Amino acid sequence: MTSIRDDLERRLSATEEPASRHVFTTLYPEAARAAADAADARRRVGISLGPLDGVIVSIKDLFDVAGEPTTAGSAIRRKAVPAAQDAPVVARLRRAGAVIIGKTNMSEFAFSGLGLNPHWGTPGNAADPTRIPGGSSSGAGVSVALGTSDIAIGTDTGGSIRIPAALNGVVGFKPTARRVPLAGAFPLSPSLDSIGPLARSVQACADADTVLSGEEFGPLRPVALRDLRVGVPRGLLFTETDPMVAQAFEAALGRLGTESVRISDIALDDLLARMAEATAAAPVASVEAAEIHADWIDAEEAAFDPRVHARISRGRTVTAGTYIRMMRARAELIRACDDRLAGIDLLALPATAIPAVPIAAMAEDEAFTRTNLLMLRNTMVGNLFDLTGVSLPLPGQALPVGLMLLARHGQDRRLLEIAAAVEARLC
């Protein structure tokens, strides 16, 4: 059996290969070697700390690690005060025996679904390095797909786990908001932020989720697909869908149908229209990010990615009263959506309407904005309506395509169990 230390050395060497360029912002070779040696010692005497003991894990570059600044993908944060202690999720990973190999690259301040970063460089997509990696957990998705980490820990505010998972052909899981503690993670939008894993299997994501959430570990229970009730929200969320994505999605539904899954259309366009009206003044993320960055958004403007600065600045125009009404309306719509989904087990739709586009095609602001909005459109539903979601890779396409499953808030474990059954049938 290969030792964990030998496996780690292989991964560290792989981080120096051209495909891994810009994937990591920081590596922890010595700390990782110490953790790997400790895991090997436990293995030799038959001791295990749990499912992540000795597993190679990367963390997104917005989690606090004691003694170093948390840059959040930004040049501004390179001079930040070093973190006094590890973020709770990092501490939990260490206690679980995870071997943390390094921090992965990301969109600046986690505010893009495409994964571009002018400060640290943009990681190339694992399937085609000339294409975008997806964001904002860009390095996380590429690292798992390339195998430099078994599990990558990311954040998801509008799709930032599920988008890079879909575009790089891996599994990405967004827990219900606030199930995993957000302390020690540089925020984008505290109302929408979630912390979750990317991995090559649903089971690996479930293992990581138990550690991140502090819940008791248990293997996923087998779920029979027969009579599973799946709603497909056709309408707005299926417009402008790339033919390859549409074909892969319909083929997946067809295969599930042969398992006697009960698939039916479900109306969501009315709730989407009401949410758009409620947030017409500015996106929730822009308003909350404007408050977070208020102390330096003017003084450090030149150091920002201009596209990120523009999206944050949009939130500054929203008054406190408008924001309060916006969030009150959102709470009502969350309840309405929960009622709407009561009669089904989950929603199914493409994780992204389009596959990864060429990086070069994003040079112009207009193309960037249009593509970013389209990339985030489907996944954002899960955050705005407080759902839990997972993206599963659909094999056999020219470029990676993701199948997204969404379930009601709090049904995280049930969703993972269903996703594991779907994965076994489709992947």
The answer to whether 354 and 132 are in contact (CB under 8 A) is no
Going by C-beta distance under 8 Å and a sequence separation of 6 or more, which residues neighbour residue 10?
none
Active site residue 160: yes
* CA separation, residue 356 to residues 29, 51, 126, 166 (Å): 31, 32, 10, 9
Distance of CA 162 to the CA centre of its chain: 4
CB atoms within 10 A of CB 86: 19
Put the strands of the sheet holding 171-174 in their side by side order: 24-27, 99-104, 56-60, 151-156, 194-199, 171-174, 388-394, 401-407, 346-350, 229-232, 262-265
Q: How far apart are CA 259 and CA 261, in angstroms?
A: 6
Q: How far apart are CA 392 and CA 165, in angstroms?
A: 8
Structure tokens at 24: 């990591």
Going by C-beta distance under 8 Å and a sequence separation of 6 or more, which residues neighbour residue 128?
356, 399
Composition of the chain by helix, strand, coil, percent to 5:
45, 15, 40
> Looking at this protein, which amino acid is placed at residue 216?
E
The residue whose two tokens read 């470029």 is: 399
Catalytic residue among 20, 58, 112, 136: 136
Beta strand pairing status for 388-394 and 171-174? antiparallel
The residue count for the chain = 427
> Looking at this protein, which amino acid is placed at residue 264?
S
The answer to whether 26 and 102 are in contact (CB under 8 A) is yes
Q: How far apart are CA 380 and CA 287, in angstroms?
A: 16
Q: What are phi and psi of 20, to 5 degrees?
A: -95, 10
Catalytic residue among 107, 137, 143, 160: 160
Active site residue 136: yes
The answer to whether 391 and 162 are in contact (CB under 8 A) is yes
Going by C-beta distance under 8 Å and a sequence separation of 6 or more, which residues neighbour residue 100?
28, 31, 32, 35, 57, 58, 59, 90, 93, 94
Structure tokens at 331: 């709470």
Active site residues: 60, 136, 160
